[in-house]
Structure 1
Amino acid sequence: MKNKRKSIFISITQFVLLAAILVPAVTLLLWIFTERWTWPDLAPQVFSKRAIFEIAGRKKELLQILWSSILISTVVAVLSAVIGIMTARAILLYRFPGKQVVYFFTILPFMVPATVFAMGIQITFIKMGLNNRITGVIIAHLICSLPYAIRLIMDGTAAVGSRLEEQARVLGASPFKAFYKTSLPMLMPVILSAVSMSYIVSFSQYFLTLMIGGGNVKTFTILMVPYLQSGNRNIACIYSTLFLGVTLLVFGVFEWAAGRFMKHGGGEFYTSE
């Protein structure tokens, strides 16, 4: 009887969680084709393809901006993972002067409000000649993404430890090969999480991109947010759907790449030839 109640509770919880995801998604898709939908009617009163035709008219510009956003966010995600791995290993596996200061700086972006950070870094980037440039936007996004990547990879590195690498070194492997063949495959799930988190943080940046990019660097959020703020729900829902679809597609590519690495690239140091 107890197990049956537990099973019913789990089923209800799963249904509620699934509904919490699907209902907003279905509503989003409905608004793409809705011209008028007022309270208290449960169904739209007027349907229209106006928004779709309007977006189709600027397809070329949209694809260019979408590709630029994906490229910027992917670069940020990869750099965040690489820097996060090195930082996490340095903090957890090595001793050096100023170690606590380095750790503090890894969590400092969490403490600084985004508006304050954007205003301060814009002044610095103007002096350095990085404002209104893609390089400046990438660096700014990287600063915001790194704390998430470092924290995730630190947890994974602490769980994996360095014993397997030490065993590989005893068996004759170089330091890099020992890491590549032992620790890296075990860290791959958490690295994938860090890459995904860094990507979504970068892809969804609006105010920071607007400040550092100065209007010269256009990303998908720069295009989407004004429609969200203006109340033009048809166009906003199309952009939101594209945002969701592209994000899921990129995450799928990340997971596929990680799976290919696990299958062909890593974890084979102890296999016999």
Structure 2
Amino acid sequence: MLFKAIPKTILLFCLLSVLLPVVILLIWSFADNWPWPALLPAAFSFRALRELFGGYSGALQVLFSSILISVAVALASLLISIPAARAVALYDFYGKNVFRFIILLPVIVPATAFAMGIQVLFIRLGLSDTVFGVIIAQIILCLPYTMKIMADVTEAAGNKLESQARVLGASPLQTFRHITLPLMMPGIIAAGSMAYIVSFSQYFLTFLIGGGNVITFSMLMFPYIQSGDRTIASAYSVLFIVSSLLVFVLFEKMLKKYYRLDDIYFFS
């Protein structure tokens, strides 16, 4: 009985470690005064709600545009990573290990040096202070994560089922749609989610490349965190978490629903 209770205890501990900070953020979003060591706030207010939904801050408009930018970054990162990961995982070519190392450079190089180098290049190319430039810079930053995840998933899945499908008469497109993508779906969901959250949480790189012309949700949230305004910062953080979870859930459900119906159609 003791050994059976250990996994449940660990699971409960992990669940509480995730939920308790969110609960504290939620309480702080409505707290006007919460002196230590009181267990509950001494006073409540709706100042944070007026800040987020009052209209004068533009938080919801910035949130929507930030979601669009992050979704574009995640999709572009996946489109690049899927074929690149298959090439790295399934084929041998000259300079393969060098290519793996180059992919990791945006993570290995310090963020400040990476952002400054990208900014100088983008100024020369005319991409600085533009949404397109911010998207490209964030794609470069996300590729190490998506490439690593997709390469590991591709190596684990292999290409034996694809070869069997081709032998049985499936076309390359049918093989990719009905064999390759379903096998890689856990990796696609994980890599897409990672790229989205990396893009959505970027502050310094977006501020530097966007030059203040491209405003994202993290750029609105960060000054409140720095200033110590816990009420507004907590409200922004809760909205950050909720919006990210909604995007992840919708992304996963859309992909799983599509391939569940697609497989039924294919095998019927």
**Deviation string for 1:6-27 (max 9, x for gaps)?**
1232232222222212221111
For residues 111-122 of structure 1, the aligned pairs below 5 Å read 111-122=108-119
User: Unaligned stretches of 5+ in structure 2?
Assistant: none
- Pairwise CA distance, 1:103: 1.8
Aligned to 1:65: 62
Report the Cα distance in structure 1 between the residues aligned to 2:123 and 2:19, rounded to whole angstroms: 44
- Pairwise CA distance, 1:108: 1.7
Identity over aligned residues, as a percent?
49
Aligned to 1:20: 17
1:180–1:59 distance in 2 versus 1, CA, 3 Å:
farther
**Deviation string for 1:41-88 (max 9, x for gaps)?**
222112122222233322672222111100110011111111111111
Structure 1 stretch displaced more, 205-214 or 47-56:
47-56
Q: Would you say 1:135 and 2:132 are equivalent positions?
A: yes
What is the TM-score normalised by the length of structure 2? 0.95
Aligned to 1:75: 72
Report the Cα distance in structure 1 between the residues aligned to 2:175 and 2:223, rounded to whole angstroms: 50
- Pairwise CA distance, 1:266: 4.8
User: Aligned letter for 2:50?
Assistant: F
For residues 155-234 of structure 1, the aligned pairs below 5 Å read 155-234=152-231
Aligned to 1:49: 46
**Deviation string for 1:105-152 (max 9, x for gaps)?**
222222111111001100000000000001110111101111111111
User: Unaligned stretches of 5+ in structure 1?
Assistant: none
Report the Cα distance in structure 2 between the residues aligned to 1:100 and 1:39, rounded to whole angstroms: 54
Structure 1 stretch displaced more, 11-20 or 260-269:
260-269
Are 2:107 and 2:144, in contact at CA under 8 Å, matched by a contact in 1? Answer: yes
Structure 1: 4+ residue segments shifted above 4 A = 266-269
Aligned to 1:37: 34
Q: Would you say 1:238 and 2:235 are equivalent positions?
A: yes
- Pairwise CA distance, 1:101: 2.4
Are 1:133 and 1:217, in contact at CA under 8 Å, matched by a contact in 2? Answer: yes
Are 1:182 and 1:266, in contact at CA under 8 Å, matched by a contact in 2? Answer: no
What is the TM-score normalised by the length of structure 1? 0.93
SS in 2 for 1:70: helix
Structure 1 stretch displaced more, 188-197 or 5-14:
5-14
Q: Number of paired residues?
A: 268
CA RMSD of aligned residues (A): 1.6
